[in-house]
Copies of this chain bind each other. A is one copy, B any other.
Amino acid sequence: MPNRVTMADVAHEAGVSTMTVSRVVNNKGEVSPATRQRVLDVIERLRYRPSGIARGLATRRTRTLGLVIPDVANPFFSDVTRGAEHVAYAQGYNVFLCNTEEDPQRELAVLRSLEEKRVDGVVLCSSRLDDDELRQVVSRHSAVVLVNRRLESMDEQNGVGAVLVDDLSGGRMVTRHLLDTGHRAVGLLAGPPTSHSGRRRAEGYRAALADAGVQYDPAWVIACPADVDGGRRAAAGLLAAHPDLTALFCYNDLVAVGALHACAEMGRRVPDDLAVVGFDDILLAALVTPPLTTCRVPRYELGGQAMKLLLNQIDGCPESSDQRTEANRAPRVEIVLRPEFIVRASAP
């Protein structure tokens, strides 16, 4: 039994015009304390709830945002989601959660549905779209913040924000640690080729090798799905082909756990026979045996910062979102979060 009480009902009952009710509800404009109280009482009595829909139509602001991510069930993204939702909620916004399931078509589809819902802005995580598609998307939304993805060369640099993790440094730190602890044959389970983070981490890996003057061998690198089973299979394959590897740098903690399993199956002891390093530091990382050396990514903050950036963009451009001038255009901001290297038993 939905709410059927309208502002007109309240106005009528309180003996005022709807405008006065509107002023009371929105705390704007001057209203005499007496009338205000009277209106408030009626609202309370009738249990009136303003319609966000009607309000949205009138104001062209819905106080509604979209969060597009590959998969909430992935612990990485559920933390991002949590951070984003928290910030949005604190500012009185509701957020539509949209899973893309890593499918670009679906990503496009949810983005379109968000467009129809007239969201005030979108946080788009780990987009699998190509630059052109992405530019299209950005042009059709009032405000967009990218997470884990950068978009270069915007013709007009209309405020696309971005929050990134310094994956290159992360990959470098991990690899350097391995090198520093004496390893020379370091394999890389690189994750999905479509992953931008994966590519950056791999860059870090190569950079560290170069730093140390160690020859980079492509045969030591193998792509894999970003889950436990993907890691297990990839590790098994790579170790079978290259038994001489003494360490494995894994795309993320899930993959690393898979690698741990592969080692168990192949009778290779971690860390004695093989050092294993993960990435992200999800809850799981510290709880497996041996606990994983990894690189912590501030996921909650990633979501929170992205949302803050988005909200800034939104109220940075009060109305005229189509008529952007140098003055009201949101600045093009990029925030880079540093991952933190954490040593545990899997690679002491």
Interface on A for B, CB 8 Å cutoff?
Answer: 1-4, 47, 49-54, 56-57, 60, 62, 64, 67, 71-73, 75, 78-79, 81-82, 85-86, 89, 92, 94-99, 110, 112-118, 139-142, 158, 228, 257, 283-284, 287-289, 300, 321-322, 324
Contacts and interface: CB of A to CB of B under 8 A. Distances in A.
Contacts of A139: 1
Give the 4 A-B CB pairs with smallest separation, nearest first. Answer: A289-B289, A97-B97, A78-B78, A73-B82
Contacts of A114: 94
A116 B52 contact: yes
Nearest to A66: B94
A184 B222 CA distance: 51
26 contacts: A1-B139, A1-B322, A1-B324, A2-B60, A2-B140, A2-B142, A4-B322, A49-B116, A51-B116, A52-B117, A53-B56, A53-B57, A67-B97, A72-B85, A73-B75, A73-B300, A75-B75, A75-B78, A75-B283, A89-B98, A95-B96, A95-B97, A96-B96, A287-B287, A287-B288, A288-B288
A64 B99 contact: no
Nearest to A74: B78
Given A1-B158, A85-B98, 5 more contacts: A53-B53, A54-B57, A71-B82, A95-B96, A96-B97
Nearest to A158: B1
B64 A73 contact: no
Contacts of A116: 49-52
- Provide the main secondary structure of the chain A interface: mixed
Nearest to A139: B1
Contact of A321 (B1, B47, B56, B81): B1
A89 B94 contact: no
A118 B81 contact: no
A145 to B, nearest CB: 16
B142 A1 contact: yes
Contacts of A81: 72-73, 78, 97
A2 B56 contact: no
B1 A118 contact: no
A116 B51 CA distance: 5
B117 A2 contact: no
A79 B99 CA distance: 12
Contacts of A140: 1-3, 47
A78 B72 contact: yes
Contacts of A60: 2
